[in-house]
Structure 1
Amino acid sequence: MNKDRFYQILWALPIIFAIHNVEELPQLGSWANEHVTGNSFSFLRELYSFHSLTFAMILLTVVVTVVVILEYQFRNKLTFTLTMLSTCLLLINGFTHIVQSIIFQSYVPGLISAVLLLIPYMSFVLYLSLKTNRIQLKTMGLYVGISVIGMVPIIFMFLIFSKWVMG
């Protein structure tokens, strides 16, 4: 596969992420309040307000879109690394939806798009990156590990920033 084909496929990344966010957003606040923000985590209620969630999801989608645009424009090591980290983060996010639905034994907002779009697409992008020798398996493993550790703090940083902006 040539690089141009890879970049044509890469353009779908922010679109798939936006579709996932559209599925997730309408129910995430009420779901989080019901399942996550009990007495021990009451401070999370404010972070999961509809306005904060909306702003955070839009901001995350914009960041991912900018990363893809930068990779398309510059095609250097930094932009490719950011693209692969974004891809790994979204892959882990997809698997998180499956794990949460098993733990809570119910539908989790974003589950359908995670199973049908996020996981297959992100896996395919990573596969293409390996197949074209743009990334080594060891490096991909490192990025997946960083994503597992970093996903929750990154989400909270965006939620806290969104709450601060939205007031």
Structure 2
Amino acid sequence: MKAKFRCVLSTVESDSHIWNLVYLQKLLEEHGGVVRNLGPCTPIGEVVDAVASQRPDLLVVSSVNGHGCHGARDLMSALRAHGLDVACVIGGKLTTAMSAGDRARRDLLALGYLDVFTSEDAVQNFRRFLNQGVAAGFSAWQAEAAPVPPWDGGRVPAPEVR
């Protein structure tokens, strides 16, 4: 299969998982990606350097330890600070509390992630994202908004920027 896009794949600094990265790499390759897998516990500087030097079409960030939301914020801030604009998605277990999932999704979408894949149908939705991205470009993707509970006054709070 001819390569259709270049991808950098990473975790956040606090996440040491490996098998999910191998799975994601194979999934990305199945969809035509040439993948540079940065491995577990990826330092932010290494991700920034890879994006700057390789200019990928897509950056995929994965986390399963429940602390990915914090690392994802720091990563996006670093990319922006270096003037790097790359289509970026994240998925996995990003929080330790199920009740924090929608807020984390809203925050990460507001920070500039194209989508946040965390639900039971995350892999299916990620496949749809890849298919559409290959066909029309990743930046054309429109993520579904995260629900805003009534106790938040129906407003989407501004994300915490570090």
Tell me which of the two structures has the higher relative contact order, counting C-alpha pairs closer than 8 angstroms and 6 or more residues apart.
Answer: 1
TM-score, normalised with respect to structure 1: 0.28
TM-score, normalised with respect to structure 2: 0.28
Rg larger for:
1
* Higher helix residue share: 1
